[in-house]
Each structure stands twice: as C-alpha cells, then as structure tokens.
Structure 1
C-alpha cells in the first residue's frame, strides 16, 4: 500500500496534482459555447447565455445564472489582459459536487475564413446533436481526416444520405433567392440564429427542409457559418458549386450588421 491520495494522476511519468479540472475533462460530461470577443463585446450575447442556461437545465437539472457567467468572462479577460479574444465557456460535472462548474478559456482571436471552403462528406451524425456538448471525438476525428486530405470542413451526413451540419459549422444552401437550411440532426448555432433574424429583417426568405447529399447539384450555392464567421462553399466532394452569386455575397454583410453586446 502507499499514501497517495486518489485520484492519482501521472503525466509522462510525472506525478501531478489531482486538481478537479483534469478529472472533469476526462469525464467528458458537459457542454459549452464559443464566441469571438472584440473590444470587450460579443455578437448574440443573449443567445450564448440562453444556450448555456438551457443545456445546464437539461443536463444538470438546474439553471445557470447569466450574470455569473458574465462575471467569470470579464474576470478571465481582465486577468488575461485582453479585450479581443476567442472565448469558450464550458459547464462540467464536478466530481462529488452538487453544482456544475463553469470554466472559461481565453485564446487569441480567431480570424475569419480566408476564402471559399471545400467540404468533404462523412457518414456521421453527432449524438444529442441539439446540444453543443463536449463529447466531440467522432466529429473531431472526421475533421482531422478531411483536413489531412486537403479539405476545410467535414459535412456530416446521416445513414440515409440526409445532410445534417458541418463538424464545427452550420451549413446553408441557396435556392434562387431563398436560403435553405438542412433539416437533419444539428445544433442550431448562434451564427445561424443571428443570420435567420437578419434575413427576416432584410425581407429575404429562408426555410428548413430535408437536403440529401445526392441532390446538392440543384442548389445555386452553399455556405458555412459559426462564431468565427461565414464563408461560401466552392466544392462538396466532387461537386463544384457557384460561390459568387449576389445572395452569397450579401450574407457576410448581414452578419456584420449584427450589434456587438458589451460584456461590462
């Protein structure tokens, strides 16, 4: 027998302090939201806070106070000494605790996509796709594999050929003067919600319907969007898509018009 406390952690042969964080990360039970912060401001801040609260209620049976989250974010940015950043807020199950733990990660700002994206379809649908949960091994593996093959993003497709979403994006299609969102299992992302609102305010139409992989040639273009930005899609598998139509050119500007909400 020995006197080591449990859990006992060792990294590359070196004993490390058994802090709660690595134990929570290895457990893999939690959810998160990701956002870009510019000059201490965030687009769609209320949507991010609502997402965190709703998922906390679903996973942990209790709400998550938005004021508490904002305080944690302000503290993290202040201690990092930055006002421009990529910020992620995680909510994890804490071992032996009744309440979930909030974790804020501050990284350098993420630049918007440099140009049209190339997507490769993969046979995968995220479990519990409506949640932005932390169990991302499947989509992460597919994303690494398609990027190693020279693509920018993975297009997740259900076994029946129905398009769902990107590995880290929502995908939309252009049909004439209308945006079509696929109706497969997906996370309704914050950028997607904001763009829908902007389309409605601009008098532009959108709808949601099943989209099949073998039927993509009928569309006049496609795009991907997430908190990093929006980019047209130039190619899906072996299919080249128009990526400079007037509606596609207008979409980034619509997102840029979304107000930035102050964190303080």
Structure 2
C-alpha cells in the first residue's frame, strides 16, 4: 500500500490495504515498539543489533520472542514490493489480544541521510518514559521538538532533574572533552549508530549536565540517518571540531553493511 509520496506499508507480509479490522485499535493504541534503519543495496548497518532490539523489546513488552529470520524475510518482501534496494525502513511490532504471534508493520520510504550541517538544540525538561525502549507511544518528543523549532532551534535536547542531559528528541548526543567522546550516563535509548560508534571511538560514559556544557570542546548527534555536529545548545556555542568529525566519519565508514 502506498500511503503517501513514495511510502509503502505491509502488515505481516500483506499490503496495508488488506488490514484486518481487529488491528485498527491495536495500531491506534500506540502500545508497540520499533526500529528504524537505512538500507542501501539491500543491506543495513548493525542489522544484528536491530534484530536484537526487536526481540528484546518484544520479550519485555509482550512476553514472547521475535524471530529475526522472519523479520528479515518481511523486510525483503516489502523492499521488493516497493521496488527499492535503497530505502528508509521501519519495523514496528504490536500485539493483538489472544494472537499467536506479534504483528509486524514494515514501512518503506525513500532513503535519508542526516544533513551534516551543524545543529542547534534547545534543552527541555523532559525524559522519555521507559527510555531504553524505542516505543511507539508518547507525545513528549514531538511536542518539545516542535517547540524547539518554533523557538528557532533545530531540535530539542531532553533533560532530567538538575539539568542532567539524556538524549535528543530522536537522536543520541555525545560530547568531546579533548580526550574522549562522552556519552551521557542518563536514561536514554542506546541508538544503533551510537552502539556501533561507541567502541570505535575513545568513548566513556558519565553524567553530563547543562551546567557542564562550557567544559566541552565539541558535541555531535547520531541516529539511524547518520551523524552531525552540534554548534549550539541554548546559549552555549560549540566550535565544529573538523578533526573529531573526520574521526567519526572514518569510524562509521568501517562498519560493514549486512545483507537483509
């Protein structure tokens, strides 16, 4: 089913036009989880991590495993039906009461890459509930993301009590102290790009607060679309460290693309 320009959706391997009416309230409930990946030539970076995320979240939310080989088959089918080898793919998992297995929704869109121009972030007093899950529900992220854009920023930076920094609204954030890449030690989703980059860079995890920002030389964001430098958080301005960004770019380039 094409639901908009260049968007194709399948539910359990069938076009969304064949949607079972029993699924409508389940999909509308927002009680589900998902992963998002960029596919190039039928391959994705960190595929095993995506499948592990889906399985772990399904076990936690629905007390059942998720077959990774079946997920891959569904994605291959949707890519084929959409006529795409390069795409943005989202796999969402829901559960119909009394069903024998989870419902999987695969959405295929045009491929995307995060623009590498420096980003600005507005801190907001919000942390995602159950932050370790990439869950489908919640109004906080889009609400604060839109508020940040209205205020002249590119996106929101989520923070907790005492200004503890967690993550961006749809990104992970990292800071450079001149020696190490610092990933905030706070409730946040461990994004796949973050998980791939962390062991390849000189990384540490520790608490980072808004009050600490002036002690860092640079910052950058990561998500499924890639990475980009940060040039401002609230009134704190960061220089774009080209050497650091080159290291990030080179490290990311070594990550293999896994066949779906």
TM-score by length of 2: 0.89
TM-score by length of 1: 0.88
Report what 2:59 is aligned to. Answer: 57
Report what 1:26 is aligned to. Answer: 28
Contact 2:116 2:227 in 1 (8 A): no
Deviating 4+ runs (over 3 angstroms): none
Report what 1:241 is aligned to. Answer: 238
Moved more, 212-221 or 249-258: 249-258
The 5 Å alignment of 1:1-264 reads 19-199=21-201, 205-263=202-260
| Unaligned ranges ≥5, structure 1 | 1-16, 200-204
Determine the C-alpha separation between the residues in 2 that align with 1:20 and 1:121. Answer: 40
Secondary structure of the 1:160 match is: helix
Determine the C-alpha separation between the residues in 2 that align with 1:112 and 1:210. Answer: 26
Deviation at 1:183, TM superposition (A): 0.6
Deviation at 1:18, TM superposition (A): 6.9
Secondary structure of the 1:211 match is: coil
Determine the C-alpha separation between the residues in 2 that align with 1:142 and 1:177. Answer: 32
Contact 1:222 1:232 in 2 (8 A): yes
Determine the C-alpha separation between the residues in 2 that align with 1:18 and 1:46. Answer: 30
| Unaligned ranges ≥5, structure 2 | 1-18
Contact 1:235 1:241 in 2 (8 A): yes
Determine the C-alpha separation between the residues in 2 that align with 1:20 and 1:237. Answer: 46
Determine the C-alpha separation between the residues in 2 that align with 1:163 and 1:227. Answer: 20
Determine the C-alpha separation between the residues in 2 that align with 1:197 and 1:22. Answer: 41
Count of residues paired in the alignment: 242
Determine the C-alpha separation between the residues in 2 that align with 1:224 and 1:218. Answer: 18
Contact 2:116 2:229 in 1 (8 A): no
Determine the C-alpha separation between the residues in 2 that align with 1:21 and 1:224. Answer: 35
